[in-house]
Chain A
Amino acid sequence: MFSRWDIKYSPYLYVAPFFVLFGVFGLYPLLMTAYMSLTDWNLIGDRSFVGLENYSALLVDEYFWNAVRNTFAIFLIATVPQMFLALFLATLLNRPLRARTFWRMLIFVPNVTSLAAVAVVFGVFFRRDFGIVNYFIGLVGIDPISWRTEQWPSWIALATMIDWRWTGYNTLIFLAAMQAIPKDLYESAALDGAGRWRQFLSITLPGLRPTLFFVVIISTIGGWQLFTEPLIFNGGGGAILGGARREFQTVAMYMYEKAFDNLQFGYGSAVAFALFALIVIFSVLNYLLVRRSVRN
């Protein structure tokens, strides 16, 4: 009697914790975000339903679009060089190396650090006065750059931080994919007289296609949610603004500012939901883009 019950219902019992917990703490908040974005609420008092008012305000909200632009720019400046660098490092690691694991571990180690620590350390590197980056560019005769107050420099500084942390990770992902490509493909190509570059273009890259999708999508999702690095990089009071003129305020920071600093929880939810939409749109777009550009 028990054993029949056991076989029939145990599986549900085993998967139930995931669905219950995810439902309550993952799905429900997300759906509620959609609902709350249609209300005006300041944490206490009534939630008044305002329809699409928050969204019509969002459409003409200069600072929201500014945050979208910043986030996208940082994502782009970070991701493009990172992909090339990771591909390059992966091809290096894919060769027969002495102390293979040693190299892999040291390339990956930036990923294993405290996020806040990265932002603090790079914040010091990128100081205008007495910063090591300005010291080095000073050696080649460039004037000190005010990394924290100017738009492009701040984007570059943040992109550097992101790349330092994630290039190694993506290198390993690419490396894994490269190793899964059958070796005989290369051998026959070599017999046909294809050089290394030719082999890379016609065998390695197509073989990496699904992995590229994966990496680009993951980077997109992560990139749009950028929060910790710019917040700590800014430092000082009112760091949530992301620079005096919001030069590097990201969408996630703007959401936080609206919801948790200004207590406009309805409007903050609208920002959050718009961000969700942006992530979906860009994931799809990137997927199509990568599919087009890496065709067999």
Chain B
Amino acid sequence: MKKLWAASPLTYLALTLAVLLSITPFYFMFVVATRKLEVINAVPPPFTPGGDFGDNFQRVLDNEHAAFIYGLINSVVVSSIITLSVVFFSSLAGFAFAKLRFRGQNALLLIIIATMMIPTQLGIIPLYDMMVNFFHLDGTLPAVILPFLVTGLGVFMMRQYASSAISDELIEAARVDGCTTFRIYWSVVLPALRPAMGVLGLLTFMEQWNSFLWPYAILNADTPTVQVSLALLSQAYYTDYAQVFSATAVATLPLLIVFALFGRQIIGGIMEGAVKA
């Protein structure tokens, strides 16, 4: 039995190949980002990084058309606000669904599960109309933030986690002590939910960092998010790849750092999320 499932050198070889495929594009990106423009046309491409990152990135900064730094900051703002909002509202609603009793509870939960299947991206035309003609927010960051402040997935994740992580007795005891419901949420539920909130927050942040279609439609070139800015850089009249790659490297680095720090939790969260599918 043990022999049957043991990891052979062949297993490691196959995994190594897969990992090489995984990281080659990243590596290529960093090599081009740190070398002179000409290497982009070298075949085969060079293997080691160079020392020109500063020059390349300076050209990104000088490129007014792409407004990359603005894009970077805007993305941090947008992703952070959405992340905080999703985590907060999800934990609040998840707590209510898991630990409180109210009429219509099950029906409402079913609705939330159903919303997870709806590709809301398809509503962007009326959303555009709404932002332009009703809220007059086109070209501003609230226009990209507002539609994503809550997600069904987040509520559902929190509900599942709260169900198993918090005992009913604990809630009851708090009630007997005279705690208000919000007090219970704040001092009992919130601390218990923290690990799941961390994972939800990281996943939400990464998803929002990569959001493209809606920002591309509603934002102007002078208020881009980082993805829109990258698209503008790569659609320029002439493409300076050393410049574009140094920008993509900078746009990717925060995600890689977050992943290096919290990769274990992110992976755990994704795998846990899948188990009871």
Please give the residue numbers on chain A whose beta carbons come within 8 Å of chain B beta carbons, in ascending order.
2-3, 6-8, 10-12, 14-15, 17-19, 21-22, 25-30, 32-33, 36, 43, 89, 92-98, 101, 103-110, 112-125, 130-132, 135, 164, 168-169, 172-173, 175-177, 179-180, 186-187, 190, 196, 210-211, 213-214, 217, 221, 224-225, 227-228, 231-232, 235-237, 239, 252, 255-256, 259-260, 265, 268-269, 272-273, 275-276, 279, 283
Task: Say yes or no: A117 contacts B252, CB within 8 Å.
Answer: yes
Given contacts A14-B95, A26-B120, whether A190 and B4 have CB atoms under 8 Å apart is: yes
Task: Say yes or no: B271 contacts A10, CB within 8 Å.
Answer: no
Band of interface residues on B = 35 or more
Given contacts A15-B108, A116-B230, whether A105 and B259 have CB atoms under 8 Å apart is: yes
When C-beta atoms are compared, the residue in chain B nearest to A15 turns out to be B93
Please give the residue numbers on chain B whose beta carbons come within 8 Å of chain A beta carbons, in ascending order.
1, 4-7, 11-12, 14-15, 18-19, 21-23, 25-26, 28-29, 32, 40-45, 89-90, 92-93, 95-97, 100-102, 105, 108, 111-112, 115, 117-130, 132, 146-150, 152, 155, 178, 180-182, 185, 206, 209-210, 212-213, 217, 226-227, 230-231, 234-235, 239, 241, 244-245, 248-249, 251-252, 255-256, 258-259, 263-264, 266-267, 270-272, 274-275, 277
Q: What are 5 A-B interface contacts by the 8 Å CB criterion?
A: A10-B96, A17-B150, A120-B244, A173-B277, A232-B230
Q: A18 vs B97: C-alpha distance in the bound complex, in angstroms?
A: 12
| Minimal beta-carbon separation of A82 from chain B (angstroms) | 13
Contact of B122 among A113, A237, A273 (CB under 8 A): A273
Task: Say yes or no: A96 contacts B231, CB within 8 Å.
Answer: no
Q: A123 vs B29: C-alpha distance in the bound complex, in angstroms?
A: 12
Given contacts A29-B127, A92-B14, whether A117 and B122 have CB atoms under 8 Å apart is: no
When C-beta atoms are compared, the residue in chain A nearest to B29 turns out to be A121
Which chain A residues border B26 with CB–CB below 8 Å? 109, 113
Q: A120 vs B244: C-alpha distance in the bound complex, in angstroms?
A: 8
Contact of A10 among B18, B89, B100, B277 (CB under 8 A): B100
Given contacts A30-B122, A132-B45, A173-B270, whether A190 and B1 have CB atoms under 8 Å apart is: yes
Q: A104 vs B19: C-alpha distance in the bound complex, in angstroms?
A: 9
Given contacts A11-B96, A105-B259, whether A121 and B28 have CB atoms under 8 Å apart is: yes
Q: A135 vs B28: C-alpha distance in the bound complex, in angstroms?
A: 15
Which chain A residues border B227 with CB–CB below 8 Å? 114-116, 228
Task: Say yes or no: B248 contacts A32, CB within 8 Å.
Answer: no
Task: Say yes or no: A117 contacts B248, CB within 8 Å.
Answer: yes
Task: Say yes or no: A14 contacts B252, CB within 8 Å.
Answer: no
Which chain B residues border A125 with CB–CB below 8 Å? 25, 28
Given contacts A101-B264, A172-B271, whether A15 and B96 have CB atoms under 8 Å apart is: yes
